[in-house]
Structures are given as structure tokens and as C-alpha cells.
Amino acid sequence: MIPSDHFTRFYNEVFKYLEGLGEKEIDDYFLEISKNQENHILHLIREKGFEGMMQYWSVIRDEENCELDLGYDEDKFEIKMHLCPSLTKAKDNDAERWERYCDHCAGWIGPIMDKTGYHLVYDVIDRDQPQCHMRVFKDEAKAREAEMDVRLLMGWPGRKQD
């Protein structure tokens, strides 16, 4: 198994390579990542909703050593990432970091939420800072309202931002 330090750097290089081929190739890659992640999260969301999301990201928090807060209420599931280990590792790299490295999270999460009928609001805040704020809503109107408060709203294949 490849260590996470190496995987993150490998991922970074793949993203840079794909960007050179074109935006469609990046979108296609994000969709493949999303399809793979369905094996781990789709059943949890379909069976348990926000509680399933909590279960999934609790494991990720522990496995990837993320500094984040997780929670949900009747309207939304929320992650506040205080220190993203993935972006931190990508930045601590002798090869240049892909400028849009943070895009891959919404790139795979968004299609899953679309497929399950939930509405993702993903605020990267600043691509140079290893922090983000992700909210998932049951109600689309509440999601669109929440988009008004973001600093850097992410899109994904199937839902691009202007």
C-alpha cells in the first residue's frame, strides 16, 4: 500500500497531467474517483442519511488524521476542516502543487450527493489554506441560500460554478 504522503504527491501530479489534457479529462477522473467512493459511502447515505455521512467521515477523520469538526442536525450535515492533511502534504512538495488541488474533494463528493438527492455546498475558502467548509442539505432552497455565504464555492462534474 502506498503511504499517504506519497499518494497525495502522486495525486497532485496526476491532476497536473490531466489539466494539460483538458477540463473534460479532469472531470472524467473526478467521476471515476466518485464511482470508486460509492463502494464506501453510497449505502451509508441511502440507508442512514446524515448519520451515514457522519459514520463515513468519522473514519476518514481518524484514518487521515484530519483536524475537523463533524456534525449534523435535521437540516444539514457539516464538516469544518481546520487543517487538511492532504493539501498540507501537497504543499510540502518539491514539485509544484496543482493550483486547483482542492477541487478534487467536491469533484467526487458532489456527484454522490447529486445521486442520493442531497445538495452540496462546498466552500474551499482559499486554495492556499488547508481548510474548507462543507455542508450537505436535504432541502435545495436551503443549500442555495447557504451558497450566498461562501468565499470560494466549488463546482463538480454536472454542476459547474460560474
Which tens digit of pLDDT belongs to each residue from 112-137? 999 999 999 999 999 999 999 999 99
**β-sheet with 67-72: strand ranges across:** 67-72, 76-83, 132-137, 119-123
Rounded to the nearest 10 degrees, the angle between the axes of helix 4-21 and helix 23-48 is 130
pLDDT tens for 90-115 read 888 788 899 999 999 999 999 999 99
Share of the chain above pLDDT 90, in %: 77
Read off the pLDDT of residues 53-70 as tens digits, 9 standing for 90 and up: 999 999 999 988 899 999
pLDDT tens digit sequence for 30-58: 999 999 999 999 999 999 999 999 999 99
pLDDT exceeds 70 at position 161: no
Averaged pLDDT for residues 145-152: 96
Calculate helix-pair angle for 103-116, 23-48, nearest 10 degrees. Answer: 50
pLDDT score of 39? 95
> What residues does each domain of the chain span?
4-147
Q: How confident is the model at residue 160 (pLDDT cuts 50, 70, 90)?
A: low
Q: Could you give the C-alpha distances from 121 to 3, 14, 15, in angstroms and in order? A: 30, 25, 22
Q: What pLDDT was estimated at residue 90?
A: 86
Which numeric CATH code is attached to 4-147? 3.30.1380.20
In this prediction, residues 6-16 reach a mean pLDDT of 89
pTM of the model: 0.92
